[in-house]
Amino acid sequence: MLIATFVAGGLSPSPARAASRVSPARKTAVVEAVARIQPAVVSIASEKLSASNARWPFSPEESTRSRVSGMGTGVVLDRRGFIITNHHVVDRVEGIEVRLNDGAGTTLPARVIQSDPVMDLAILKVDSPRPLTEALIGTSSDLMVGEDVITVGNAFGYENTVSVGIISALGRNVTLSDDQVYRNLIQTDACINPGNSGGPLVNIKGELVGINVAVRAGAQGIGFALPIDDVLRSAAEMLSTRRLAATWHGIATESRPDDEGVRLLVSQVQSTSPGEKAGIKPGDQIVRVGELETRNPLDLERALLESQSDVPVAVVVKRDGSEVSTQLAVRALSRAQPDAGDQIWWLLGVKTRPVSAATVSPVSRELHGGLYVSDVLPGSSADRASIQPGDILIGLSVGERHWETILPDNVLHILRQPEVSGAQQLTYYIVRSNSLYRGSITILNTQAANGTMRR
């Protein structure tokens, strides 16, 4: 058997130059789709410390650790250098580098600015002297089993590797390990290999419909991707003006596909918020913010990310078939709204403070932390749901959607989700006396039965 020992990469003809010499008849839909997505795909390299014996990380000696190289893939979400990838690609790593697919092999240092361990997503930031090419965002709401899809990624270190397949199934729930459970995944037989993690799954139009996340060990042609609609909800929260710029607009949105494409609709406008002051109403379609056309919740956050507090930004909404222009001025959090802890106290009736994973690890090693309940308001939703001081809130769910509650912001993010705003109750998960419990909590201002709890 011959074994290849060359280094992945190397020189190759310029794709643009090679494409100029071929017949137009050879430029299939797949070729065109790859050409659209490839400039937005990056390769990620990193290093992490790995254990050389069973004592680490409990032993502080440096001699028990060795450096291990890591690799993965990312997708450019914003030309200012915001890149999405999997959390597991950059978790506890050092020296992250991103290699652009710009024809020059430009390599830039990157830093993790936000992460969502539950969704297994992270946002990287690079400082590029030139605007990056953004991926064309599609929707996963209308995907069909049997539909053609394409993956691009840093497979086994072979950068920009392209594979083609179909969607094999939708809505898969997969337990990858004791530490990671995925829900609502896209299953595909397009090749996904080590190094593809965090890379794009695109449709035949070159639109991003998923982020590759896992493969079935020992199987062939069984790979999984996170649906882009779920990814965008997480990415919008991670890139929110509230998190990155400490400003507030008070508008909750959702994407909705129709015959004309994907529209961004307002699902909720918070009272006394900048959005309410601008005259924006639930049901409005946000067409454009500043110079950016908006089709998903992430677009709204991107458009407002560099807005200065109290400086108006032009917004165009469509209402009752007509376009309406208005001005939206974000406000600083310090005087725009209470902090997350105060809001949770008013909404649910609990005062909380974050605790580390070590606090809840005796119950389960899967947990990443939680919110310690220090006080419960008598007669509140939490009180009626039998939550007590000393409990540690570790998660909330509705239907098939599950979220961890590590920070107060997580709770507010959950309560803003479309499927939550219309629900009568949420299931909560708590740690009490080193045991795990669950119960039901009412989130609307309605009279409800006392929460039940079972072990």
pLDDT at 179: 57
Select which of 43, 46, 87, 88 is catalytic.
Answer: 88
Strand, coil or helix: 363: coil
Asked whether residue 306 is domain-assigned, the answer is yes
User: CATH number of the domain that 41 lies in?
Assistant: 2.40.10.10
- Does the N-terminal peptide bond of residue 354 adopt cis geometry, omega within 30 degrees of 0? no
Asked whether residue 265 is domain-assigned, the answer is yes
Cα–Cα distance measured from residue 84 to residue 114, given in angstroms and rounded to the nearest whole number? 10
**Total Cβ atoms within 10 A of residue 84:** 27
255 and 358 assigned to the same domain? no
41 and 105 assigned to the same domain? yes
pLDDT at 67: 55
164 and 203 assigned to the same domain? yes
Select which of 46, 78, 115, 120 is catalytic.
Answer: 120
Given 227, 259, 274, the domain boundary residue is 227
308 and 365 assigned to the same domain? no
77 and 154 assigned to the same domain? no
Is 87 a catalytic site residue?
A: no
440 and 414 assigned to the same domain? yes
User: CATH number of the domain that 288 lies in?
Assistant: 2.30.42.10
Asked whether residue 169 is domain-assigned, the answer is yes
pLDDT means per 10 residues, the chain with 455 residues, are: 40 52 85 96 82 33 52 95 94 89 92 86 94 95 96 91 96 76 90 92 97 85 93 90 86 84 87 91 95 94 92 95 94 68 82 84 82 84 88 88 86 81 78 87 47 39
Domain range enclosing 411: 338-454
Is 120 a catalytic site residue?
A: yes
439 and 367 assigned to the same domain? yes
Cα–Cα distance measured from residue 222 to residue 260, given in angstroms and rounded to the nearest whole number? 33
pLDDT at 112: 92
322 and 345 assigned to the same domain? no
pLDDT at 59: 29
Select which of 197, 267, 309, 381 is catalytic.
Answer: 197
Is 88 a catalytic site residue?
A: yes
Q: Which helix (H) or strand (E) segment is 176 a member of? A: strand 158-177
Phi-psi region of 126 (alpha: psi -120 to 50; beta: other; left: phi over 0): beta
pLDDT at 204: 97
Asked whether residue 23 is domain-assigned, the answer is no
pLDDT at 401: 82
When divided into structural domains, the chain yields a total of 4
pLDDT at 290: 94
103 and 173 assigned to the same domain? no
Longest dimension (CA), the chain: 75
